[in-house]
Amino acid sequence: MNDVYENEMKLEFISKSKNEAFARVTVAAFASQLDPTIEELADIKTAVSEAVTNCIIHGYENKQGIVKIVGHLKENEIILEISDKGKGIENIDIAKEPLYTTRPNLERSGMGFTIMESFMDTMEVESIEGLGTKITMSKKIKPKLESEEEDFQMLTKD
């Protein structure tokens, strides 16, 4: 384990869509050590859902493979790496465009990367065709005192 991190977790599971909820809940339980707000936790869970779903639907398509999640806690931040050894992404810039999808026959909106970027503080995509894709995301969790002060200021505004 890297000394820089306060805690670390690794999770691997088969690329079945029913495992997406398992991944989301597991990461949420890990993130809860930072004492996030319900909203911060929901953001993390949503981003994880999108990343895992991308691995299952796009990375492996109709084949079975392994989705891997590595999580790190560092001070007040969670860093997540979600990866597959699937087909990879031909052009990351095009794939990150809102509404772009390679699977228009599915009821998906092509907003996965956009959602991940908007719910997390950082999001990077690395991919090599034929070898797989890794998404690295991070989110800083506000200390409780800061969050409570902001809430109080919102309530006392004229």
For residue 142, the 8-state DSSP code is P
Q: Which residues contact 149 (CB under 8 A, 6 or more apart)?
A: none
| pLDDT reported for residue 87 | 94
Whether 103 is catalytic? no
Whether 7 is catalytic? no
Read off the pTM.
0.84
- Which residue in the list 20, 24, 40, 50 is annotated as catalytic? 50
The HSE-up count of residue 143 (CA atoms within 13 Å, CB side) is: 4
| pLDDT reported for residue 146 | 61
**CA–CA distance, 139 with 147 (Å, rounded to integer):** 15
- Which residue in the list 19, 77, 108, 126 is annotated as catalytic? 108
Location of structure tokens 């398509």: 61
Q: Which amino acid is at 65?
A: G
Whether 105 is catalytic? no
One digit per residue, pLDDT tens: the chain, 158 residues? 455 889 999 999 999 999 999 999 999 999 999 999 999 999 999 999 999 999 999 999 889 999 999 999 999 999 999 999 999 998 888 777 776 666 666 655 667 788 899 999 999 999 999 999 999 999 999 887 665 667 667 777 76
For 82-151, the DSSP string reads EEE-SS--S-HHHHTSTT--S-TTSS--S-HHHHHHHHSSEEEEEEETTTEEEEEEEEEPPPHHHHHHHH
Topology of the domain covering 7-156 = Heat Shock Protein 90 (3.30.565)
- Which residue in the list 20, 24, 40, 54 is annotated as catalytic? 54
